[in-house]
Amino acid sequence: MKKGEFQRKIRKAHRFLGVALGIQFLFWTIGGLYFSWSDLHEIHGDHQKAHIRPLGADLNLVNPQR
């Protein structure tokens, strides 16, 4: 392989890797901005959790001691 041809392939690979990393950093920055501007409780998902009631709250359980 000639020296000029090898350098051209290296430059092409370097450009491709730079674009790929640039897109990744762009998405990383956009995600960080979204998380910093939005409500923290909404991000945690606390509003989507099911409310758990105690086991005996709606059942008619019999006391075994009686």
Q: What is the pLDDT of residues 13-56, one digit of tens each?
A: 999 999 999 999 999 999 999 888 887 777 777 777 777 666 65
For residues 39 and 47, the answer to whether their CB atoms sit within 8 Å is no
pLDDT at 60: 67
Rounded distance between C-alpha atoms, residue 42 and residue 46, angstroms = 7
Helical spans, DSSP H, in the chain: 3-37, 40-44
pLDDT at 17: 97
Rounded distance between C-alpha atoms, residue 53 and residue 15, angstroms = 58
Tell which wins on pLDDT, 62 or 13.
13
Whole-structure pTM value: 0.54
Give the phi and the psi of residue 21 in degrees, each rounded to 5.
Answer: -70, -35
